[in-house]
């Protein structure tokens, strides 16, 4: 019986892995080549612009993360306040409605 390597799934998989590795290697080489050409053409100015841009992006990201953290703390605080108010102000009828969501949909509450 003749074994057809073109239809072999392992051969196909090996080829895909090889192609992926080759593509990755070519991308890395192209990136290095482009960076070298840009550095040769623009030199220090280009590197300085990248550094400044990266610093601005980093500052912006840090600002947004800090703002998000503050909002999360405030949200958690209001959730705690809401839970306490809910426990303190629910009448027995309201507590029953809370336990039966299907009933809550059909009332004014």
- Tens of pLDDT, residue by residue over 36-64, are 887 787 776 666 677 778 888 889 999 99
In a domain, 2, yes or no: no
Q: Are 83 and 59 found together in one domain? A: yes
The answer to whether the beta carbons of residues 46 and 38 sit under 8 Å apart is yes
Tell whether the model's pLDDT for residue 103 goes beyond 70: no
The answer to whether the beta carbons of residues 12 and 4 sit under 8 Å apart is no
In a domain, 57, yes or no: yes
For 16, the domain range is 8-42
Instruction: Give the C-alpha separation, 30 to 39, whole Å.
Output: 14
In a domain, 23, yes or no: yes
Q: How many domains in the chain? A: 2
**Of residues 13 and 62, more confidently modeled:** 62
Supply the pLDDT for residue 1: 41
Percent of the chain with pLDDT over 70: 72
Supply the pLDDT for residue 98: 67
Start-to-end Cα distance in the chain: 77
Phi/psi-derived region of residue 43, left when phi > 0, alpha when psi is between -120 and 50, beta in every other case: left
Tell whether the model's pLDDT for residue 25 goes beyond 90: yes
């Amino acid at each position: 019986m003749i074994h057809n390597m073109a239809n072999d799934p392992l051969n196909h998989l090996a080829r895909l892995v090889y192609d992926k590795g080759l593509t990755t290697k070519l991308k890395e080489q192209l990136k290095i080549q482009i960076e070298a050409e840009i550095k040769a053409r623009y030199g220090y100015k280009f590197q300085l612009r990248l550094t400044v841009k990266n610093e601005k992006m980093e500052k912006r990201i840090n600002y947004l993360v800090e703002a998000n953290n503050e909002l999360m703390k405030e949200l958690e605080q209001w959730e705690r306040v809401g839970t306490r108010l809910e426990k303190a102000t629910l009448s027995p009828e309201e507590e029953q409605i809370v336990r039966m969501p299907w009933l809550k949909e059909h009332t004014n509450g």
